[in-house]
Amino acid sequence: MREETGADVHETASPPRGGPGAADLAIVAGVELGGAVLLREFLLEDRTFVIVALLALLGAMLAALRLRPAIEERIVLAFGAARGAASVLGIAIVLAYPFLMEGSSYALHLLIISMLYSVLALALNFQLGSANIPNFATGASYGIGAYTSALLAINFGVSFWLTLPIAAVVATIFGFAIGIPSMRTRDTYLALVTIAFGIVIHQLLNNFDWTGGPNGLVGIPPPFLFGHSFAQPIELFGQRLPSQGNFYYLAAALVALSIVSAARLHNSRVGLAWNALRSDELAARCQGINVVWYKVLAFGVDAFLAAFAGTAYAFYISYISPDNFTFLVSVTIMTMVIVGGMDNTLGVIFGAFLLTLLPEKLRVFSDYRLLFVSVVVILFLILRPQGLFPQRLRSYGRQ
């Protein structure tokens, strides 16, 4: 199959027609189960030399994918052919995963935070990855969602399930509010505008009395679902999960929503328009694409999903303060997108997990852990210069 991007024509392999073969199913099962086992060991392991060995193993696998591109292509073809089986197995792994954590509340906590950051990274990916719009205000949208939902719950007793869409709408309004005036700027100046917006939001949260000022908001009530409090453990089939299990499944549902949204938008006219903006804004304008509208829409989508993550975080921690939503948070989210691979859903999620777990698992290095994390990230980028999972060419095949 032939595919064009700009002036170049590339040959890409088409997924085989018909049902998946035994080899495809074996590859899919091996990759998904192998990844699940590797993540479990990394989460539960405390010995430094084993953690470093697991990182070395991951680095070796990434190096193999770079040295042998045919391996990566074969894996991609297998997942394309066995998409249904891959989805079913993936869902089964996600549902069963908390029961494999040996009752570790800490491991579940790391998984929850990693998934919330995955939602934030996927939200930013619509802008940075799909449309090449630098936005350092994702942390501000994250904070707006958290504070909106927390204030509604504390002051008016609004249910978590109602605060979730309300906070998303409020954050989206702010997203449009920054997106519209930002259209008068481009590139570096656009980034500066988003930086300024994030700083302004942080200062407002820090200075208003009704937001709790620097002390933040405490006593955010846990969500309830069919009479079950998320502050209570889960007991199912004789198995008992810590209370974090409730928020694990909530965070997993938000990640699933983000993945579905990413897939739908990527394959829609909106996704094509964003990619056109990324390639050449002037050419996109000449083709009749409403550049301003699609840029502002990217700001809105980013803020909408970021507010979901903020709401879940507020109710999970039950305490928030302005320090949870600083400029550094936005920089971290942007780093996740770049390291994982822009405009690649799997890569963005992988980058979010990597940059969330590394600082925690390398605490043994004390004051030098951030330096060590930086070295690891640089080494991974040397192995994969375009991100751990670079964006792939669009494939237009017959359905």
Which domains occur in the chain, in start order? 1-100 (no CATH), 104-365 (1.10.3470)
**pLDDT recorded at residue 248:** 95
**pLDDT recorded at residue 13:** 46
Residue 141 CA: distances (Å) to CA of 96, 155, 194, 244, 294:
32, 21, 11, 24, 19
Phi and psi at residue 283, to the nearest 5°? -65, -40
Phi and psi at residue 220, to the nearest 5°? -70, 120
Which pLDDT tens digit goes with each residue over 235-293? 877 788 899 999 999 999 999 999 999 999 988 899 899 999 888 888 888 888 899 99
Long-range interactions of 236-241: CB distance < 8 A, separation 24+: 239/99, 240/103, 241/98, 241/99, 241/103, 241/108
Q: Residues 54, 38: contact at Cβ < 8 Å?
A: yes
CA-based R_g, the chain, Å:
21
Rounded distance, CA 272 to CA 297, Å? 13
pTM of the predicted model as reported, rounded to 2 decimal places: 0.90
CA 350 and chain centroid, separation: 8
**pLDDT recorded at residue 169:** 96
**pLDDT recorded at residue 5:** 41
Rounded distance, CA 23 to CA 71, Å? 13
**pLDDT recorded at residue 10:** 41
Q: Residues 167, 311: contact at Cβ < 8 Å?
A: yes
Average pLDDT in the chain: 87
**pLDDT recorded at residue 399:** 42
3-state SS, one letter per residue, for 161-224? HHHHHHHHHHHHHHHHHHHHHHCCCCHHHHHHHHHHHHHHHHHHHHHCCCCCHHHCEECCCCCE
Q: Residues 28, 79: contact at Cβ < 8 Å?
A: yes
- Below-50 pLDDT ranges, the chain: 1-16, 398-399
**pLDDT recorded at residue 379:** 76
Structure tokens at 356: 């969330």
Q: Residues 334, 141: contact at Cβ < 8 Å?
A: no
Rounded distance, CA 337 to CA 128, Å? 8
Rounded distance, CA 328 to CA 311, Å? 19
The beta strand positions in the chain, using DSSP E, are: 2-5, 8-11, 217-218, 224-225, 228-229, 234-236, 239-241, 319-320
